[in-house]
Amino acid sequence: MFMPEMNNSEHLHPTGWKDYQLIDSGNGEKLEQFGPYRFVRPEAQALWLPRLQKAEWQSADGHFIASERGGKWKLKDSIPENWHMHFEDIRFFAMPTSFRHLGFFPEQSVHWQWCADKIKKFKEIHARAPRILNLFAYSGIGSLHAARAGAEVTHIDASRKAIQLAFNNRELSNLNDAPIRFITEDAIQFVQREIRRGKSYDGIILDPPKYGRGPKGEVWQLQKNLPDLLSDCTSLISNSPLFLVATIYAVRMSIISVHSAIANSFSTKLGQITSGEIFIKEEDTVSNVKPRALGQALYARWNGLQK
């Protein structure tokens, strides 16, 4: 009977942000700072009362009101269409979207930093830039951060709007000459074509949605399609394997299942799997009170053993 080793479990939270912070949370919502603006968004895991006064929450610049149809923003007139933010050397645009997020996921910086460290070490060992495949790559911050660290990146997203946002972030970061291929395509179709072509990548980044559609109407369902995609990804990993990083949001799935799926797909390859939750922590807004934490996503990392 297959049983994954779960000893390598670690929960992660982002560090190094200057433009983002979780200010307070409670009553099923969270109060966050994105650059110069504050927003209130739904947060099902905020199972406690807020610590700050109601006036602090009411003074927010934007409030996403959830509904059965998804919800909508209630924004102050002073909120621009978009504004600049940065993380380390990467600059990018933030904006309220119809999906309640702000054009990026700040908690994913834990992966940007981890991948950057692996990319730099790879270059020292192999004297070449690692080839990184970023699937469901959205607004491109992870791709830009990896390229800045020294990788050659192939950036795949099915949304032309997301690709355009990635272009805008690339220009804002002054990385127009970075070795990044931006491709609008269904992730499954792209991966299968690359396998037929005999292509390989040293590292793969996965941030799949629960549900989505490709540019030609292809349907993505996480629990149905993820196992086959993981299997195909093992066929794309090069003989100088670096990593596979997977982040899973908004599904009824345990980290044991995610860990097991990757362990099963990569069972024939040498390497180590670490998994857990990514969480964000409140700032210490109240003296002598321990900051509370909110789980945001499940993750698993396969770290290839380099020769």
SS (H, E, C) 178-247: CCEEEEECCHHHHHHHHHHCCCCECEEEECCCCEEECCCCCEEEHHHHHHHHHHHHHHHECCCCCEEEEE
pLDDT of 254 higher than 70: no
Residues 170 and 178 sit within 8 Å (Cβ to Cβ): yes
pLDDT on residue 2:
37
CA-angle at 60, arms to 167 and 83, nearest 5°: 20
CA-angle at 218, arms to 212 and 220, nearest 5°: 35
Domain spans of the chain, in order of start: 82-304
Q: What is the mean pLDDT of the chain?
A: 90
138 confidence band (pLDDT: 50, 70, 90): very high
pLDDT of 25 higher than 60: yes
pLDDT of 276 higher than 50: yes
Residues 92 and 35 sit within 8 Å (Cβ to Cβ): no
Range list of H helices, 97-204: 109-126, 141-149, 160-172, 187-196
pLDDT on residue 7:
54
4-13, 172-181, 240-249: range with lowest mean pLDDT: 4-13
Mean pLDDT in residue range 101-130: 96
pLDDT on residue 223:
80
pLDDT digits 0-9 by tens, 187-224: 999 999 999 999 999 999 999 888 777 777 788 788 88
pLDDT of 5 higher than 60: no
Cα→Cα distances 222→19, 98, 225, 226, 245, Å? 31, 21, 5, 5, 16
pLDDT on residue 253:
60
pLDDT on residue 174:
97
288 confidence band (pLDDT: 50, 70, 90): low
Alpha-carbon distance 215 to 42, whole Å?
29
pLDDT digits 0-9 by tens, 51-86: 999 999 999 999 999 888 888 999 999 999 999 999
The listed CATH number (3.40.50.300, 3.40.50.10490, 3.40.50.150, 3.40.190.10) that belongs to domain 82-304: 3.40.50.150
